[in-house]
Copies of this chain bind each other. A is one copy, B any other.
Amino acid sequence: MNPGQAWDEGTKKRLIMAAGEAFAQHGFRAATVREICRRAKASVSAVNYHFRDKEGLYAAVFEYSHRWAVEKYPHDLGLEVGATPEERLRAFIRSFLLRSLGDGFPAWHGRLIALETAAPSGVLSKVAETAIRPMDEYLEGIVRDLLQQENPSQEVEDHVVRLCRMNIIGQCLFQLHARQFMPFPGEKKLDPPQIAAIAEQIFRFTVGGIRAIATGGLS
């Protein structure tokens, strides 16, 4: 097998899995190489051998989880062509939350992004942007269409679109932060239906908000 691709069930994959868990939980800095290797049942030299150093491991984790996350939960999840802006927004929010709020492997990506946005490690600036930029541009299109649709007579202003975008992402990300910061009493890990319910509420809230912005105008 090609050593460059031999991720399957080898030390490399075990390291990525253990590191993903650790980085998502503690952040880049606080997670330690020794702890990761212990959980991956690997030697510390393995991370040097396979990933060059801790940053390389971090980048590999990010890239790996990103690939799977967008494959499993694309932005237009379950959408058929010709969907309305509302339907696209709903799909986007639900997809975002499913990608981030779950447990275990594919949820790392959302957690890593959440941590990077709040406390940038400084080692992902380029690779992180490849994950964030497309998402942001996709969302921008949705918001623009929604604003235009709500108030066709008025031209959509860029800074209004930006703020609405931020409002949406902010709502989604805070679901992560809050649940990590103070888990609510009597609330276990969220299953997909619960996540979908939260997404639905954020969707309705956002549509109402965008409508208010569009019709009310903004100085």
CB distance from A183 to the nearest CB of B (A): 11
| A160 in contact (CB, < 8 A) | yes
Are B218 and A213 in contact, with the CB atoms below 8 A?
no
| A43 in contact (CB, < 8 A) | no
Where the two chains meet, the residues of A that have a C-beta atom closer than 8 Å to any C-beta of B are 27, 29-30, 114-120, 160, 162-164, 166-167, 169-175, 177-178, 180-181, 184, 197-198, 200-202, 204-213, 216, 218-219
Query: What would be 23 A-B contacts, judged by CB atoms less than 8 Å apart?
Result: A27-B119, A115-B119, A117-B177, A117-B181, A118-B119, A118-B181, A120-B180, A163-B201, A163-B205, A167-B171, A167-B202, A170-B173, A170-B178, A174-B174, A200-B219, A204-B212, A205-B212, A205-B213, A208-B208, A208-B210, A208-B213, A209-B209, A209-B212
